[in-house]
Chain A
């Protein structure tokens, strides 16, 4: 059963509907991507899960029980637009946010020291937040999100503002948290990072779920029967089996062929192998980026036509 179960959630504002009956099941111990263009309703959904705002209709259950205010202690939330109290000291700040989540002072202190140590921020504990570089502030923000070891973590664009080295460190930490049993809801526009760390995704558009499933399933569903073939010969197209596609300027050695309707991969490869010298072939699966753009655009056309 899903750890976080969102069932037919509706949220209306004056003049527009932010969520029109959204359902989503996030299994325990999973990194779950919540995707969607700007204004699709992701932030509203995240705020509802965080109980910052209330849903007009629908239910949210956590661990099989309807969510209550007490459950916010079980959530760690890193908003996209984030900030800290500039005048507070780093250590005090982390402890304050930890205690707001219901930790005891002693626990919060111990956890704060452990995390500062892990992120090499120990000597900054008694410095004011404003004295830190932006990257360090982001780390402090991350620590404040996870300090109470919540079973559910919600990250909204966690990698924005991080340099590649720090982003990598953050990714390692997120994966470690997942391995320790945390369930992670991950909202981002960065599709590369989705492919890297998410097992499942839900794509929101215009307040509705338009795509959901595991990353592999989604890719299989959206594959275009394209094969990248490597060969020293120049391949002519065979309309009965396949047509040639223009080569990708980045990967010039790959010859892209699109299989004709109903043609199996092995038939096409067998034919190619008979006629040319094949050195390799791979099935081309669409990237999440392509799937995202394709889905959102087709929705747009639907909207425009409807």
Chain B
């Protein structure tokens, strides 16, 4: 046991002490925040366009140009003259002071078509603005033309915006409002955490094993300890280093998040930052709703189950990665063994995404029983109260399989690390297990 502890400590320190690890650990959250805030920054830049563009409007119907409201980006100027040639002349004469010409044709109500002419590409913002402004107006005009009294009012009253709420019945008879969106989001995040962690640490373990083997240090080490201890120490040590990194990220993200939250909160409090048509109380309501739904999820079982699946899934896959690393002489030889493992993991991820649609369906059930996919797929199902027997069965299958895989991997590993030269085949691997 002392030796195992020594090996774990060495593996852990050899990763955590690396400069690249320290840099990556500290920089990653900032990188994520930077990537996350790029769209926000870009919209800000867009909206702060310093110049108001002049847009000429030729309204052949004479009824709809008023619907186009000028704002600080686009100033709509209705021009006389109703033919396209006129428009072109007008555009050329303006020598660039007018950036586009909108033509609302006479038959717009039947053709449902409006043209924007320009020498440069028309910004999507302008197209969507014109579309939004004119659609409602023309629709209302058409409704009014039907001559039925109060038709517009009737249509407004009959149109609905359905709000589907999901409510969970508790054992004690209470009802809690739950949100499938948030439950699914949480599940997806947990699934991704396991997937990324296993991939990251798994490939690190594999490369470590190959490095030790090509270094030839492995023979010295296994003359001092059992190969199984070396493999296990590596799996645990690398796993702990990954957990350390994750813990630091969570702390940094939490700090950064609260700082960002304060800054954004400050912005949101200023009235001009709130989207038009939404007042401050509405924003508040959305936020409290969101918070309530987040709080409504029962976290204790999710956290416990997450940790169990995390450990099981990590053991299962990292043992495979360690065994594969031991079977080759150089990293470039791994591909022939690696693709089945990668396939399994990608299938698990896709199954997880698929199960999000129907977290209690047959695919979700089977994929959350198969140990190679269950650690990832079960994450999606966790927020949806999985039946207890399924939970137990899935855990038992995962644990049993993980231990069996570790046993097989150890047998491959102890032969593989001393095997040089001729590349091992799948056949060899099976022989080594026996």
List residues of A whose CB falls within 8 A of some B CB. Answer: 14, 47, 50-53, 69, 72, 75, 77-79, 81-88, 96-97, 99-101, 141, 144-145
Q: Answer whether A100 and B215 are a contact pair too, CB < 8 Å, given A14-B431, A85-B14, A87-B14.
A: no
Stretch at the interface among B161-169, B218-226, B350-358: B218-226
**Option from A88, A99, A101 in Cβ contact (under 8 Å) with B14:** A88
Q: Answer whether A72 and B223 are a contact pair too, CB < 8 Å, given A53-B418, A96-B10.
A: yes
Closest to B214 in A: A83
**Option from A69, A84, A96, A144 in Cβ contact (under 8 Å) with B6:** A96
Interface pairs (22), CB distance under 8 Å = A47-B418, A50-B223, A51-B223, A52-B223, A52-B227, A53-B418, A72-B223, A75-B223, A77-B220, A78-B220, A81-B216, A82-B216, A83-B214, A85-B217, A86-B215, A87-B14, A97-B221, A97-B224, A99-B6, A100-B3, A100-B225, A145-B220
Q: What is the bound-complex CA distance between A100 and B7, given in angstroms?
A: 8
User: Cβ of B95 < 8 Å from any Cβ of A?
Assistant: no
User: Cβ of B18 < 8 Å from any Cβ of A?
Assistant: yes
List residues of B whose CB falls within 8 A of some A CB. Answer: 3, 6-7, 10, 14, 18, 212, 214-217, 219-227, 418, 431
- Taking A77-B219, A78-B220, A100-B7 as known contacts, 15 extra A-B pairs with beta carbons closer than 8 A to each other, sorted by chain A number, are A14-B431, A52-B418, A69-B226, A72-B223, A72-B224, A79-B216, A79-B219, A82-B220, A85-B212, A86-B215, A87-B18, A96-B6, A101-B224, A144-B220, A145-B220
- Min distance, Cβ A19 to any Cβ of chain B, angstroms: 15
Closest to B417 in A: A52
Q: What is the bound-complex CA distance between A86 and B219, given in angstroms?
A: 15
Q: Answer whether A83 and B18 are a contact pair too, CB < 8 Å, given A14-B431, A72-B224, A100-B224.
A: no
**Option from A86, A97, A99 in Cβ contact (under 8 Å) with B220:** A97
Q: Answer whether A81 and B219 are a contact pair too, CB < 8 Å, given A52-B418, A53-B418, A100-B6.
A: yes
Closest to A49 in B: B223
- Min distance, Cβ A271 to any Cβ of chain B, angstroms: 58
Closest to A141 in B: B220
Set of chain B residues within 8 Å of A52, measured between Cβ atoms? 219, 222-223, 227, 418
Contacting pair B216 A83 (CB below 8 A): yes
Closest to A100 in B: B224
Q: What is the bound-complex CA distance between A81 and B217, given in angstroms?
A: 9
Set of chain A residues within 8 Å of B6, measured between Cβ atoms? 96, 99-100
- Min distance, Cβ A84 to any Cβ of chain B, angstroms: 6
- Min distance, Cβ A141 to any Cβ of chain B, angstroms: 8
- Min distance, Cβ B413 to any Cβ of chain A, angstroms: 13
Q: What is the bound-complex CA distance between A16 and B248, given in angstroms?
A: 53
Q: What is the bound-complex CA distance between A77 and B221, given in angstroms?
A: 10
Q: What is the bound-complex CA distance between A39 and B43, given in angstroms?
A: 71
Q: What is the bound-complex CA distance between A258 and B56, given in angstroms?
A: 120
- Min distance, Cβ B167 to any Cβ of chain A, angstroms: 56
Closest to A76 in B: B223
- Min distance, Cβ A259 to any Cβ of chain B, angstroms: 48
For the complex of A and B, 9 pairs with smallest distance between CB atoms: A83-B215, A83-B216, A100-B224, A81-B216, A50-B223, A77-B223, A79-B219, A83-B217, A101-B224
Q: What is the bound-complex CA distance between A47 and B419, given in angstroms?
A: 13
Set of chain B residues within 8 Å of A84, measured between Cβ atoms? 215, 217
- Min distance, Cβ B238 to any Cβ of chain A, angstroms: 15
Closest to A86 in B: B215
Set of chain B residues within 8 Å of A96, measured between Cβ atoms? 6, 10
Set of chain B residues within 8 Å of A69, measured between Cβ atoms? 226
Q: What is the bound-complex CA distance between A69 and B229, given in angstroms?
A: 13
- Min distance, Cβ B203 to any Cβ of chain A, angstroms: 18
Contacting pair B215 A85 (CB below 8 A): yes
Set of chain A residues within 8 Å of B224, measured between Cβ atoms? 72, 97, 100-101
Set of chain A residues within 8 Å of B220, measured between Cβ atoms? 77-79, 82-83, 97, 141, 144-145
- Min distance, Cβ A76 to any Cβ of chain B, angstroms: 9
Q: What is the bound-complex CA distance between A236 and B10, given in angstroms?
A: 73
Set of chain A residues within 8 Å of B214, measured between Cβ atoms? 83
Set of chain B residues within 8 Å of A145, measured between Cβ atoms? 220
Closest to B218 in A: A83
- Min distance, Cβ B411 to any Cβ of chain A, angstroms: 12
Set of chain A residues within 8 Å of B418, measured between Cβ atoms? 47, 52-53
Closest to A82 in B: B216
- Min distance, Cβ B224 to any Cβ of chain A, angstroms: 4
Set of chain B residues within 8 Å of A144, measured between Cβ atoms? 220
Set of chain A residues within 8 Å of B431, measured between Cβ atoms? 14
Set of chain B residues within 8 Å of A81, measured between Cβ atoms? 216, 219
Q: What is the bound-complex CA distance between A81 and B223, given in angstroms?
A: 13
Q: What is the bound-complex CA distance between A61 and B431, given in angstroms?
A: 30
Closest to A44 in B: B418
Q: What is the bound-complex CA distance between A77 and B3, given in angstroms?
A: 17
